A and B are shown apart, each in its own frame.
Chain A
């Protein structure tokens, strides 16, 4: 068996991007913030209500589900793609923290009776399931967690799928925080999500071509201190240097955080 110690370079086009975070309303509005043309104003994350989700499901779902849908829909729309047609990679560091807290609280109480809805919302793939129900997507969804490396793991899985299976893949990486006492041991200061459609082919919607490989070294930082704090404190915001580079429209190579001493290098070439 021939083995190679050289990490391959995986290439794809990014055809649609979404971004929702504290003071980051959507991708088009965030471009001027990420290019330092508009001052960054941190605010509580505003998550649009997903009309696409049937009313019953909407009532049963929490912030993470709404964030997932909003992030996925904005990216698919920006890529000019029907969301139901896209394979999906969903990555989150912690799932629905409030729901988890309520379950643990109930199980530590005298009456351990759980609500069935709480229980089915407790699975890590709950938001991905709501995505599939809301969009009608019968496509495969990979549902991942890699703690602080969740953005990198999601990006790696998505580009791998694009190259291995030659199909467009929607990456959704989202995080919301825990209430106390879990917040104390795992503080995630704001709801945050990044979405992107990675495609094997260039289209009229293509923003950039990316070439992705594993590497070592230090992760690229953001010049704005407040945005850099987001990057360091929210796992899905580890992808912000990629979005900042795309916003700036330069040909450059940036480095994203991944596991321990591993990093992901992304060489970016603008399409427009």
Chain B
């Protein structure tokens, strides 16, 4: 594919609001995970909560969108002058030539969970202030983003569980290639809710302490929330050396099981190879892989095998979920931003909380951060239903 420029990007998660805080946290090995005290949740687990989401004030004309997920979206859009960059792009291209592609897994479902506690005792109806299309519906966060900027181009929510906001890059790239749009806002927003906390707990996939990716004794995920966005434009001829490019994307399906990855990571391998092919790169061209690395037994074992199959032990890899937790449908976009930070700072982040690397996984896994020239990085995102997406980013120089 022709490279696309990430002309602007931003990330908000439990390790920071915006890129400066996120970069500092990564460099200082800061984990944003803490014991769960979200809402009325009574589970013994750690989560990654974004500070200040509750106090976000949404514009009056968008009050029907008011819920935790869209507040988090707005909080993220307002970091790093991202919304200013969108407005400049609107002046350049027009409101109808900028697409919106937002990945989310659960959208504003928390609003519905809370509303179910307040059903009318006589009619059984949801409370009057419940607004389905603005909060519950999967599209709501993409619709909010579109209306926040008064955009009139194509807009869609991509909702393939934990690959959602990686796959937005691929969908946007295709639409830019055929000329339906000139630029795209791609991103991911997922927020804490009871469905995912109790749901992953029911599958015995939540860690009792902060998650330990690729550790021999890893015991599950730490659920978190995040919002991350990038503005994609066609790469101009005169790039700056630190400009970040989206170079290739690969997508596949496991065709294996709803909630377990293929044990040998076959679908993951297909996605990684497809991303390399899409970027016109070879395995040895990749300097760092930001792994999906959820810290479940099955994910890390399968992904480790897949990475070993394609890259051997030669490529430094880490999962940053020990720092950020697993932001589910927002993980792809968050980790795309982390990849961009990695490229701009020539810094490969360590895996936090990992004490002893699983001896059965044979890859160059980073228990300590490493500083080295980084030119090309890969980011992996895999999800329930056997959905896989790998993205490759590079530096312009």
B63 within 8 A of A: no
Q: Which residues of A contact B119 (CB under 8 A)?
A: 108, 181
- Which of A104, A126, A157, A164 lies in contact with B113, CB distance below 8 A? A104
A107 within 8 A of B: yes
In the complex, the answer to whether A125 meets B152 with C-beta atoms within 8 Å is no
Given contacts A133-B255, A147-B137, A147-B139, whether A119 and B160 have CB atoms under 8 Å apart is: no
B138 within 8 A of A: yes
Interface residues of B (CB under 8 A from A): 42, 92-94, 96-97, 105, 109, 112-113, 116-117, 119, 124-126, 130, 132-133, 136-140, 142-143, 146, 152, 154-161, 164, 167, 170-171, 173-175, 177-180, 182, 194-195, 198-203, 233-234, 236, 251-259, 266-267, 270, 383-387
The residue in chain B whose Cβ has the minimal distance to the Cβ of A134 is: B255
Given contacts A116-B259, A182-B126, A214-B154, whether A138 and B233 have CB atoms under 8 Å apart is: no
Q: Which residues of A contact B93 (CB under 8 A)?
A: 3
Question: How many angstroms from the CA of A8 to the CA of B182 in the assembled complex?
Answer: 12
Interface size class of chain A, counting residues whose CB lies under 8 Å from the partner chain = 35 or more
What are the 4 tightest A-B residue pairs by CB atom distance, in nearest-first order? A129-B385, A119-B199, A140-B251, A124-B159
- Which of B157, B160, B195, B199 lies in contact with A141, CB distance below 8 A? B160
In the complex, the answer to whether A153 meets B253 with C-beta atoms within 8 Å is no
Question: How many angstroms from the CA of A72 to the CA of B258 in the assembled complex?
Answer: 18
Beyond the given A182-B136, A186-B133, could you list 20 further A-B residue pairs with CB under 8 A, ordered by the A residue number?
A4-B179, A8-B180, A104-B112, A105-B116, A112-B198, A114-B198, A114-B199, A114-B201, A114-B202, A116-B203, A120-B259, A123-B159, A126-B385, A129-B387, A132-B386, A139-B252, A144-B158, A147-B137, A150-B139, A157-B171
In the complex, the answer to whether A125 meets B160 with C-beta atoms within 8 Å is yes
Question: How many angstroms from the CA of A180 to the CA of B116 in the assembled complex?
Answer: 11
Per-position 1/0 for A159-186, Cβ under 8 A of B: 0110111000000000000001110111
- Which of B94, B125, B138 lies in contact with A184, CB distance below 8 A? B125
25-51 of chain A: CB within 8 A of chain B: none
Q: What are 20 A-B pairs with beta-carbon distances under 8 A? A: A104-B116, A114-B202, A115-B202, A116-B202, A120-B199, A120-B259, A126-B385, A132-B386, A133-B258, A138-B253, A140-B253, A145-B139, A147-B133, A147-B140, A157-B171, A157-B174, A181-B124, A181-B125, A185-B130, A259-B154
Question: How many angstroms from the CA of A262 to the CA of B198 in the assembled complex?
Answer: 39
In the complex, the answer to whether B97 meets A3 with C-beta atoms within 8 Å is yes
Question: How many angstroms from the CA of A100 to the CA of B112 in the assembled complex?
Answer: 10
A137 within 8 A of B: yes
In the complex, the answer to whether B124 meets A180 with C-beta atoms within 8 Å is yes
In the complex, the answer to whether A160 meets B156 with C-beta atoms within 8 Å is no
Given contacts A120-B203, A139-B253, whether A185 and B159 have CB atoms under 8 Å apart is: no
How many A-B residue pairs lie within 8 Å, measured between CB atoms? 228
The residue in chain A whose Cβ has the minimal distance to the Cβ of B115 is: A104
Q: Which residues of A contact B105 (CB under 8 A)?
A: 123-124
In the complex, the answer to whether B126 meets A185 with C-beta atoms within 8 Å is yes
Question: How many angstroms from the CA of A258 to the CA of B384 in the assembled complex?
Answer: 29
Given contacts A132-B255, A182-B126, whether A3 and B92 have CB atoms under 8 Å apart is: yes
Q: Which residues of A contact B96 (CB under 8 A)?
A: 5, 214, 262
A146 within 8 A of B: yes
In the complex, the answer to whether A7 meets B180 with C-beta atoms within 8 Å is yes
The residue in chain A whose Cβ has the minimal distance to the Cβ of B92 is: A3
Q: Which residues of A contact B143 (CB under 8 A)?
A: 147
A7 CB to nearest chain B CB (Å):
7
Q: Which residues of B contact A182 (CB under 8 A)?
A: 112, 126, 132, 136
Q: Which residues of A contact B167 (CB under 8 A)?
A: 142
